[in-house]
Homo-oligomer: A and B are copies of this chain.
Amino acid sequence: MQKKLEAYLKSRGTSVEKALLRLVQRRGRAAIPFLSPMPESMKKSMRYSLMAGGKRLRPVLVMAAAECRGLDGMKVMKTACALEMIHTYSLIHDDLPAMDDDDLRRGKPTNHKVFGEALAILAGDGLLTMAFELAAENAADLKLSGSNAAELVRVIAAGSGARGMVGGQAADLEAEGDGKRLMSDGAGARAKKALEYIHTHKTAALITASLEAGAVLAGAAPAERCSLREYGRSIGLAFQIVDDILDRVGDKSKLGKRGSDLDNDKLTYPRLYGLDGSRTLARRWTAKAHACLKPFGNRAEPLHWLADFVLERDR
C-alpha cells in the first residue's frame, strides 16, 4: 500500500504543481477586459508560497472525490488548484507577525520575510480571490447546471470562510493562552468542546470542502456527498490529532519543530486525552473514514490509502 500511495501522491502532486504554476501566472483575457496583467511583485509573492512544496493533500482530495464518481481527476484540476490556493493563503496570513509570527515554513523563509508584510497580506487576498475565479471557470468548462455551479462556490466558501476555516482560526485565537482556564472544570468538558470546534473548523472544514467540491463537479447525489463529507470530517480530525501527537513525540529532524504547542499553553489532544487516548481517537476516526467509503467500492481506493496515510505519517 505504502509504495502505491507514494507513487500516486507523487504523480498527482507533480500534475498539481504544473497546473498551479501555469494558472497563477497566466495572462489570458480577464472577465473584465480592460484590466491588465497583475504587477510583477504580486505574481512573484503569490508564486513563491504556492510553489513552496507541501503534501498537496487538498487538491489530491478534490481529484480523488471526482474519481469516486467516475469523472477523470484532470477535469477538476482548476478546482483542485483553487483549494490549494486557499490553503496557501491561509498559511501566508497565519504566519504574519500579528498571527503566529513564523519566520520559516517548510524550511523556507515565510512570505512576509521575503516580500514584506504588506505584499504578503495582498498575496493572500489575491490567492483567495483567484480560487473562486478558478472554481467558477471549472464549473463553466464542465457545463455544470446553475444550481451545481452555485453549490460548488458555496461549499468552497463555507469550508474556508467565517463559518469554516477562518472561524476556526478566530476560535483558536480566542482560546490562546486560555488552556488552563478552559480545563479548570473537572472533566475538561469545556476544553474538549473548544478543541473540537477549533479543529473541525480550522482543519477539517477545508478538507471536507475539497471532497465536496470534487463531488459536486462530478454530479454526485446527496447521499454520496454526505458520505464524502463525513469521510472528510473524519480524516480532517484524525489529521489534527496526529499533528498534536507529532508535536509532542515526533522526530524533530523530520518536523522542523516540536513541542511548540506545549510552550503556548495550547489546547491539544494529548493534553486533554493523553497520548494513548489520542492515538485511540485517531484510529477511531480513521476507521470511520474507511467505513464512509463503502458505497464507492474500488473507485475509492486512493481515498482509503489517504486515510491510512493521515494516520500513519511521521511528519
Select which of B39, B133, B145, B201 is within 8 A of A158 by beta carbon: B133
| Residue in chain B with minimal CB distance to A170 | B42
Beta-carbon contact of A119 and B154 below 8 Å: no
The interface residues of chain A, by DSSP majority, are classed as: helix
Q: Which of A30, A150, A152, A174 has the most CB of B within 10 A?
A: A150
On chain B, the residues within 8 Å of A229 by CB distance are 32-34
Most B C-beta atoms less than 10 A away, residue of A39, A93, A154: A39
Q: Does A169 contact B (CB under 8 A)?
A: yes
A243 beta carbon closer than 8 Å to chain B: no
**In the complex, how many angstroms separate the beta carbon of A208 from the nearest chain B beta carbon?**
6
Minimum distance in angstroms from A32 CB to a CB of chain B = 5
| B41 adjacent to A157 (CB under 8 Å) | no
A103-111, A122-130, A263-271 - interface stretch: A122-130
CA distance in complex: A63, B171 (Å): 35
Judge whether A146 is part of the interface by a CB distance below 8 angstroms: yes
> A144 → chain B, closest Cβ, in Å?
5
**Are A149 and B158 in contact, CB atoms less than 8 angstroms apart?**
no
A163 touches B197 (CB 8 A): no
What's the nearest-Cβ distance from chain B to residue A118, in Å?
Answer: 5
CB closest residue in chain B, given A233: B34
- With A125-B93, A155-B31 known to touch, is A136 a contact of B162 (CB < 8 Å)? no
CB-nearest residue of chain B relative to A153? B136
Which residue on chain B has the smallest CB distance to residue A161? B129
B209 touching A32, Cβ below 8 Å: yes
CA A125 – CA B129 in complex, angstroms?
10
Q: Does any Cβ of B come within 8 Å of A114's Cβ?
A: no
Residues of B within 8 A of A116 (CB): 98
A158 touches B118 (CB 8 A): no
Return the CB mask of A20-46 against B: 1 if under 8 Å, else 0. 000000000011111111110111001
> Is there an interface contact between A125 and B166, defined as CB atoms closer than 8 Å?
yes
Residues of B within 8 A of A99 (CB): 118, 121
Q: Establish whether residues B146 and A143, one from each chain, have CB atoms under 8 Å apart when the complex forms.
A: yes
Q: Does A164 contact B (CB under 8 A)?
A: yes
Contact A32 B205 (CB under 8 A): yes
Interface of A toward B, CB cutoff 8 Å? 30-39, 41-43, 46, 89, 93, 96, 98-99, 112, 116-119, 121-122, 124-130, 132-133, 135-137, 139-140, 143-164, 166-167, 169-171, 173-174, 197, 200-201, 205, 208-209, 212, 229, 233
Since A35-B167, A143-B146 are in contact, a sample of 4 more A-B pairs with Cβ atoms closer than 8 Å, ordered by chain A residue number, is: A34-B200, A35-B158, A35-B205, A129-B161
